[in-house]
Amino acid sequence: MKNHFIFPYSGNKRTEVENIYNTTKDIYKYEDIKTIVEPFCGSCAYSYYISTLYPQKYKYILNDNSKTLYNIFLLIKNETSQIINYNMNVLINEFNKYDNDKERKAYYISLINDNIYTAIFTKKYYNIRSGLYPLLSRIKQIKPFKIEEISFYNFVKTEDIEFLNCDGVDIIKKYKDDTQSIIFLDPPYILLCDNEYQSPNFNCYEYLYDKNIKFWESSVICCLENTWIIKLLFNNNKIYKEYKKQYQGSKKNTTHVIITK
């Protein structure tokens, strides 16, 4: 699947979702499901892909602890594309006024974490590898931003979606015994990724240890890196498929695993 999201996103499952769906479609009856739940939605790659297979069939509950992501989701859902494009293009036009790398870099860095529009701009053009600003030697001019041409925009506009910004465990507790829900679990790797998730209060893995997914009434799909601690955590669950993965930014090669109850 081509990148559906607004900007590059670390941990994006877009290259894996077809494999995940094909592995689980004979385990769970998607035709009987009413709600798709992602307690840690990130780029929402799983839900987006499901929507391409079953247009306007499900209710989507998409939650993320990142306040920035949540605000971006609401902006797309509630505002017109013209407003978003206008604000983005103001930033792009200003950026393109600078004729040397030093000035461009200074302007670019000044925008980080300023407001919701600069958040989209910096995340879209921020080099995902170690936080470098755009490789300007390869970009002569950043082109105008048209959010309505991004697949995720149409997903938000056409599907029944509820966006939330709370503890993912609270979402799990609410839907784990709903027989008509699929919960897709792709929790962040704490202290290894986005600073917004670096919190000692994050207790998803503790909860999964105490409340094993095999006892949930809902359908559950876990997609996680196949490390020794994940194997211990899900020792009593069904590991249906291992697959190789390469992180596009770092080029790190690893193995992920699809787990069900």
CA distance 207 to 218: 16
| pLDDT under 70: residue ranges of the chain | 1, 127-140, 189-202, 248-250
Burial (CB count within 10 angstroms: exposed 0-12, middle 13-18, buried 19+), residue 240: middle
- The pLDDT of residue 198 is 52
Burial 104-113 (b: 16+ CB within 10 A, else e): beeebeebee
Question: How many helices (H) and strands (E) are present in the chain, helices listed first?
Answer: 10, 7
CA distance 175 to 66: 21
Q: Is residue 11 part of a domain?
A: no
- The pLDDT of residue 79 is 86
The widest CA-to-CA distance across the chain, in whole angstroms, is 60
- The pLDDT of residue 15 is 87
CA distance 42 to 27: 25
- The pLDDT of residue 248 is 65
Q: Is residue 8 part of a domain?
A: no
In a shared domain, residues 135 and 184: no
Q: Which of 99, 116, 148 is the last residue of a domain?
A: 148
Evaluate whether 258 touches 241 at the Cβ level (below 8 Å).
yes
In a shared domain, residues 176 and 68: yes
Q: Which of 148, 175, 198 is the last residue of a domain?
A: 148
Burial 174-194 (b: 16+ CB within 10 A, else e): bbbebeebbbbbbbbeeeeeb
DSSP character at residue 11: T
- The pLDDT of residue 154 is 95
CA distance 82 to 33: 35
- Report the number of distinct structural domains present in the chain: 2
CA distance 13 to 20: 9
Closest CA relative to residue 248, chosen from 7, 60, 67: 7
DSSP character at residue 234: T
CA distance 181 to 175: 7
Evaluate whether 76 touches 156 at the Cβ level (below 8 Å).
yes
In a shared domain, residues 124 and 246: no
- The pLDDT of residue 223 is 93
In a shared domain, residues 85 and 189: no
CATH number at residue 162: 3.40.50.150
In a shared domain, residues 69 and 176: yes
Q: Is residue 188 part of a domain?
A: yes
User: How many CA atoms lie less than 13 Å away from 222 in the CB half-sphere?
Assistant: 24
Domain coverage including residue 230? 17-74+156-260
- The reported pTM is 0.90
Report the Cα 5 to chain-centroid distance in Å.
8
